[in-house]
A = this chain, B = another copy of it.
Amino acid sequence: MNQQRILLVEDDMNLGFLLMEFLELEGLQVTWRKDARSAMQELQKQSFDLGVLDIMMPGMDGFSLAKHIRAKLPNFPFLFLTARLLKEDKLRGYQLGAEDYLTKPFDEEELLCKIRVILRRSAQQQQTFPQLAAKYQLGRYHFDPSRQEICIDEETRRLTEKENEILLLLCQHRNRILKRELAVQRIYGKDDYFLGRSFDVFISRLRKILREDPEVSIENVFKVGFILNVPAAS
C-alpha cells in the first residue's frame, strides 16, 4: 500500500521536529507546517490522509484552522494536540469534528496508535473505492466512461453526457442497489429534490442500449432504486 501522508501543524520547533522525526521513522510521510495559514496552502497543493493540529498557535489557532478545513474538505480527518486540558476545549474540539484530542504531554507511541487507528479506517475505505478512470466489462459490453463509449462486438456507440454519468453510477454499484435518491442527488445536485421523470427516461434508454446481451439487465427495486445486474467478470 501507499505511504500515508500526514499534515502536522505545530508552532513549537522542538516538539514539531521531534514528532516529525518519530513519525517518519515509523514509515509515515510527514509535512510539517508552523502556522495555520501555510497549512491551508499546503492542503490546497497536495492531499493528505490525516491532519495533526496544535491548538495554541500564533495567528490563527487550531480551532479556526479546523473550521476552515471543515468548510473545504468536510470529510478530512484530523486530531488536536494541546497543552490545555480545559474540558470545554476538549468538547469544542470534538464538536468541530475532530477524531481525537491529545493533551500534552502525551506519549509519542500513543499518538502513533491513534494515528494508525484513523488511517486504518480510511485505508479500508480507499481499498474499495471505485476508480474514476476504470473501464467496465458488462457481459459482452465494454464501457469506457472516460471516452463516453460503450462497445459490443466491434460496434461502438457514443453515449450522451447524462447517459454516461448514470451508467457509470450504476457500474460503481453493479450487482448492488443504486439508491434512486443517491443517484438523483449525484446527477441533479444536492439540495434540489426531484419530481420529474428524467432519470427514469434515461434508465429506459440504457436498457435499450444494453439489450443485446440478455445477461445484462437493469432491475428495478420498487421505491428504492435500481440494480445493474452483470455476470461476474471473467
Interface residues of A (CB under 8 A from B): 75, 87, 90-91, 94, 98-101, 107, 109-110, 113-114, 116-117, 121, 124-125, 128-131, 146-148, 158, 160-161, 176-177, 221-224
Contact = CB atoms under 8 A, between A and B. Distances in A.
A146 B175 CA distance: 11
Contacts of A161: 222-224
B147 A176 contact: yes
A39 B110 CA distance: 28
A124 B130 CA distance: 14
Contacts of A98: 117
B117 A99 contact: yes
B129 A125 contact: yes
Nearest to A99: B117
A75 B125 CA distance: 11
Contacts of A147: 176-177
A176 B146 contact: yes
Copies of the polypeptide in the assembly: 2
A148 B94 contact: no
A87 B75 contact: no
Contacts of A101: 113
A101 B107 CA distance: 13
Contacts of A90: 107, 110, 113
12 contacts: A87-B107, A87-B109, A94-B113, A101-B113, A125-B125, A125-B129, A130-B177, A131-B176, A146-B177, A147-B176, A148-B221, A160-B223
A143 to B, nearest CB: 15
Contacts of A222: 160-161
Contacts of A128: 125, 129
Contacts of A176: 130-131, 146-147
A128 B130 CA distance: 11
Contacts of A158: 221
B121 A125 contact: yes
A221 B117 CA distance: 33
Given A91-B109, A124-B75, A148-B221, A117 B130 contact: no
B75 A94 contact: no
